[in-house]
Structure 1
């Protein structure tokens, strides 16, 4: 088992101890410095398997992911409030520290989606939060005729997000916000969407898989599910979604970036069978190396996936 002997794990533990002692995770000089260092430690490729960590490190990892999710939510609220104070908020998105990463991640997700599905008419984004950058970037740059329905359980988050897009007629006409638990959204509604993005920052894997089960029962056959996962040391920042646990879905692509885009991307299609069997192992390899820059133009050519057909 990989445990405290690994220098990377030792550094992550040190940072966790410092972060867990903070009374407030809202953006500040100290908070920003600690999380920036944590991200820089976890980004480089590392042959660590999070499933083989010793129990105490596994427990620490779970707590750290929760802290990261909480801090991310507070940061989004902070910058959503700041942007909303400006005349045209969406013209100033670059004020958000990780905006360039969202641009890259959204382009990555769009390229993967386009490889498997034509431009969707209606998209649901689950867990959109107070600063729905993915929806905004996709709507503005890539899916320019698609209608986006953003779901979040937090009414205040939806109100903040709505304030950001309201001054922009073209985007606001195609973007709506709904408050409520996605588990309460009936199948008649979910079957209207061609694509469902599942974010849910701060939710652990078990909770997310519970949502996936609900979507598997209620999404339209052939509709696309897109999830964010993590790989290697980045699994200290975000939970890992094992594609083999996506019952009811056919795995289409699993992509692990090696640049500063932290999240892996999972693309799956809702099976046509009413009771699909569990998925077997799926492997995707990329030709990316640690030093290669992000190149969306060659992304599809770099994909090699072993597909499972329902």
Structure 2
């Protein structure tokens, strides 16, 4: 099967799933919601040569809306279980009911992390106090918003501090926004990780540059990820 045929089949399948998801009355956890989201994920896991950033306008609009809908479903999932667990007399005794709980157990760094609820564009000089900043995948769903946030971080992060961004690769671009490395002005890109398993997000590690803004230097990593796309 040619690359073009693979891409056409993928786009057709994703559009069919999108059509069903967009017609749901609610994105709260349910059999239909869970089934469709699982189908979408399984569709996007296998390697595919597609570049979702170069789709036609119609499919780009579907992709953007699909990312938004999936984000809303994740929010609904967390709200649902937050309400459910909060209804118990001892919520922590039932914490394992939350599907993503095992992921949080693995976050050993959580005790050294701080969480602030605010618009990142309203945070300026305080950013220079941190050695590492994580940029969530859904912070800036479209390219313009993502670049706006990245430029803001480049302006206020401390020199040599680390920026870790969640991105996507191939068909996974239907689930998460893709960060274009050329948009990382003011950062030196150190590594790019593309998972090949059920983990959907790619990871980009970049260092706040002192002089050579926009300089790329990618290093490989051998594990369950495909490491490097190119090196300059």
Which residue matches 2:127? 190
Structure-2-length-normalised TM-score: 0.85
Give me the whole-angstrom Cα distance separating, in 2, the residues matched to 1:235 and 1:144: 28
Q: Does 1:31 align with 2:39?
A: no
Give me the whole-angstrom Cα distance separating, in 2, the residues matched to 1:202 and 1:186: 16
Which residue matches 1:225? 163
Pairs aligned (count): 228
Name the CA shift for 1:45/1:74 in 2 (closer, same or farther; >3 Å): same
Q: Does 1:70 align with 2:35?
A: no
Which residue matches 1:278? 214
C-alpha RMSD over aligned residues: 2.9
Instruction: Report the CA distance between 1:222 and its aligned residue.
Output: 0.9
Aligned partner of 2:195 among 242, 257, 260: 257
Q: Does 1:209 align with 2:147?
A: yes
Give me the whole-angstrom Cα distance separating, in 1, the residues matched to 2:59 and 2:5: 7
Q: State whether residues 137 and 176 of structure 2, in contact with CA within 8 Å, keep that contact through their aligned partners in structure 1.
A: no
Q: State whether residues 190 and 219 of structure 1, in contact with CA within 8 Å, keep that contact through their aligned partners in structure 2.
A: yes
Name the CA shift for 1:261/1:92 in 2 (closer, same or farther; >3 Å): farther
Pairing of 1:134-153 with structure 2 (within 5 A):
137-138=106-107, 141=108, 143=109, 146=112, 148-152=113-117
Pairing of 1:83-232 with structure 2 (within 5 A):
83-86=85-88, 87=90, 89=92, 93-100=95-102, 103=103, 133=104, 137-138=106-107, 141=108, 143=109, 146=112, 148-152=113-117, 180-187=118-125, 189-199=126-136, 201=138, 203-204=140-141, 205-232=143-170
- Bigger Cα displacement from structure 2, 43-52 vs 248-257: 43-52
Which residue matches 1:59? 61
